[in-house]
Structure 1
Amino acid sequence: MTLSSPTTALPASFRLEGGRLCLDPRDPTFFENPYPAYAALVETGGIAFWDRLGGHAVARHDLVSSILKDRRFGRIVPNDAEGRPDFSQKPEHLRAFYALEAHSLLELEPPTHTRLRALLTKAFVSRRIERLAPQIAAIADALVDDFADGDTVDFIAAFASPLPVRVIADLIGVPASASHLLLDWSHRIVGMYTPGRTAEVERAADRAAEEFAAFLREIVEEKRKKPADDLISALIAAETEGGKLDRDELISLVVLLLNAGHEATVHQIGNGVKAILAWSAATGTPPASPFASEAAAEAAIEETLRFDPPLHLFERYALAPVELPGGVTLARGDKVALLLAAANRDPAAYAEPDRFLPDRFLDRSAKTVTSFGGGIHFCIGAPLARLELRIALERLFARCPHVQMTARTRYRDSWHFHGLERPEVIPGPVDRRPRQPPS
């Protein structure tokens, strides 16, 4: 049961010669389907200097995986022995944004990164994640209940977006009534990671960072007076244990969790549904069939993460001189652009990489996907993301066995954060039989 990618056209802006890649990330042919360009890069060695990103793009699975774990590379080039970045030269109109980034796990290296990640791991224990399953199922069912039989639904707005934001808000300890604010702040902040961003996007992100931080300071003060069983309360407890965590660090950790805890999952739900529905249509197999057992469901979710993930780019900087294959020499401070989705389609790692095979990962020898990164910066929320994806898709296909996605569905002009723009689905007849309350 297989499904090929819809098109193999290379973008008009694509040029690859002499170890240099010319490619406009905003070329519609590219952001609609970047995989032919990735394949061309892999075929020529998997590494080339990409002028638009100012660093070497790396597409081979073995190279991407090894660099993610290689301590000669970091998310930043630290400014001091504490592993912190130097944002002193950033423009004044981004003051609030970089005040958050200065304490973000994404912008830190050891030993500060080690200290903060250990505290977050202690608060983000597996039992907190495991007990969310009934709640995730209940949220998914409630969202499906709002579908009208036969009507066209904006799938991101009606299902893929509200589900993870409600889950992460509750887990962290933020009122569900603030979900719309969290979404707005998150969308504006994520705009900072878009290639070619405008000054308007930057100012919007800075205002969002300022408003988000002020909102969380109020929440933190409330939790100090009245702790609860949530992540903010757990982190406050860590904050008071011998000064292990200060308030600015706590605020940045919570912002990161709220942003990362829903933004990527939103688009993976959309991308996953699109892939499974296309596979279902091509094979004549019900979309719910990959979820017939827990093992099959986990394998299918892993294949969606491989086939069309939301995060396509992680940047790393050389912390010392490094030699890469193909005669590429990096000096300290040189950047590499790790193309996670390209690595997931590398034929040296996966047979028939452009085919969606929901049972691919039933073979335990299959290579690990790069979609969550690797090494010390591996996504701490990966178990939650996988759980949300599995339950969301299970409930959707169980309740809407004849769901379809319309041909008008397109990808957003946001290549590195790959997701669908207002995808339209027709749920078909919705199963509204009484359900047993989640236990």
Structure 2
Amino acid sequence: MDAPPAYLAFDAATRRLRLDPHEPAFVQDPYPAYRWMQAKARCVFWEDFGLWCLAGYDDVNRLFRDKRFGRERPGGYRAAVAATGERRHLADFDAVEAGSLLELEPPAHTRLRTLVNRAFVSRQVERLRPKVEALAHRLIDGFGNSGRAEAIRDFATPLPAAVIAEMMGLPTASGLQLVAWSNDMVRMYMHKPGPAEEHQANASARAFADFIRRHAAEKRKSPGDDLLSLLTAAAEDGQKLTEDELVSSAILLLNAGHEATVHQTGNAVRTILAQGGDPGRFFETPEATAATVEECLRFDAPLHMFTRYVYQEAEIAEGVVLRPGEQVGLLLGAANRDPLVFAEPDAFRPGRPDQKNVSFGAGIHFCIGAPLARLELQIALKTLFDRLPDLRLAETPAYSDIYHFHGLRRLDVAFGPGSVTR
């Protein structure tokens, strides 16, 4: 691959890359750009983000585990954001982020993760299987017999939202409101959010925090066997969890409990339909279903960049030395298709022997919700294609301009009239 995609400019002498992440061609298919990086420069300075980025699997996987790098901003979240300029209009958003498990390192990270981890271990998550299966069937029943549905709105979004709301001990009917608040907040992680997005993110963070505080107060009076009751009891202790940490942890779990799964479900349906033939071949056994989900996670992941702060001077590539306080971008979407690691990386091959995607991260920040996400994806995809084996695209789906997330705007599907009836 000699010529880069037309929308990409690269200076080989300085390894500086110019690539607008909002470029439509990149939004719809980022993989040609990743292929070019891996062939020409696996470590680049992405000018649009202002940081060095790694595109190779081994580099990404290694840096996830390297303790010289981490998620917590040097000096702490509040001090760091105060130094970035005027942020009073983001006070509520910053209050939530400051106590987020995702933004902390040990010992605070260890303390918070230990509290919530037991709810997400595989044996606990497996107990949810009957409920998730029943919910998947109800959502498909709701498609009706018109022969068409919008699968992001009608299936991919409500399923994980309802599951995580129930795990938290919140009304399942509140799921779509939680999704709306979450969508507003995560826009702050995208490339250059504007003033309107910032104000909306702050308003939603405030409403979300108030919602959690109200329900936490109810859990103190009448605790149950749910995650919010667990977090509330820990906050009562005082040594384990503060009230602010309670709010931040609950919001993080609710956001992370559905956001990526929605994108991955839509991406996976699109990918499977693109293979042609009988989709049932991918779900003939539990082992085949699990392998299909893993390949979907590798082939078209829902998160394409994750960042780390530098804590100690480190050389991340030959001649590229980063100093404390700088950031580095890990390109998960590229790493998952590294030709040095995966045979035929651009081919969809469930059960491949070289399956080891980094879509859930690695190291101490490995996604705590990975067992739940895998369960939901396995059930959702198998149920969908078992019920609607003639499912097909009604319109060509388009990806949303939400980098570094990667998911479809909508997914219009068609199926035989009357297929939904059980």
Give the TM-score, by structure 2 length: 0.95
Give the corresponding residue for 2:358.
370
What are structure 2's unaligned runs of at least 5 residues?
none
Q: Give how far 1:432 is off.
A: 4.9
Query: Structure 1 pair 240/257, CA: closer, same or farther in 2 (3 Å)?
Result: same
What are structure 1's unaligned runs of at least 5 residues?
1-7, 435-439
Give the corresponding residue for 1:300.
292
Q: Give how far 1:150 is off.
A: 4.7
Give the corresponding residue for 1:351.
343
CA distance in 2, matches of 1:199, 1:12: 31
1:17 partnered with 2:11: yes
Give the corresponding residue for 2:303.
311
Is contact 1:400–1:430 with CA below 8 Å preserved after alignment? no
Q: Which amino acid aligns with 2:107?
A: P
Is contact 1:69–1:375 with CA below 8 Å preserved after alignment? yes
CA distance in 2, matches of 1:140, 1:342: 31
1:272 partnered with 2:268: yes
Q: Which amino acid aligns with 2:66?
A: D
Q: Runs of 4+ in structure 1 displaced over 4 angstroms?
A: 8-11, 429-434
CA distance in 1, matches of 2:384, 2:415: 9
1:41 partnered with 2:22: no
Over aligned residue pairs, what C-alpha RMSD do you find? Answer: 1.8
* Cα distance per residue 1:306-343 (max 9 Å; x no partner): 00011001001111110122311111112111000100
CA distance in 2, matches of 1:357, 1:398: 20
Give the corresponding residue for 1:418.
406
Q: Which amino acid aligns with 1:276?
A: I
How do 1:123-272 and structure 2 match up within 5 A? 123-241=119-237, 243-272=239-268
- Match of 2:252, SS state, is helix
CA distance in 2, matches of 1:260, 1:237: 22
Give the corresponding residue for 1:106.
102
CA distance in 1, matches of 2:173, 2:421: 29
Is contact 1:78–1:84 with CA below 8 Å preserved after alignment? no
Q: Which amino acid aligns with 1:99?
A: A
1:428 partnered with 2:421: no
Give the corresponding residue for 2:387.
399
Equivalenced residues, count: 417
Give the corresponding residue for 1:4.
none
Give the corresponding residue for 2:72.
76
Identity %: 48
Query: Structure 1 pair 132/378, CA: closer, same or farther in 2 (3 Å)?
Result: same
Query: Structure 1 pair 84/386, CA: closer, same or farther in 2 (3 Å)?
Result: farther
- Match of 1:421, SS state, is coil
How do 1:50-89 and structure 2 match up within 5 A? 50-79=46-75, 86-89=80-83
- Match of 1:315, SS state, is strand
Query: Structure 1 pair 391/417, CA: closer, same or farther in 2 (3 Å)?
Result: same
Query: Structure 1 pair 9/177, CA: closer, same or farther in 2 (3 Å)?
Result: farther
Of 83-92 and 379-388, the range deviating more from structure 2: 83-92
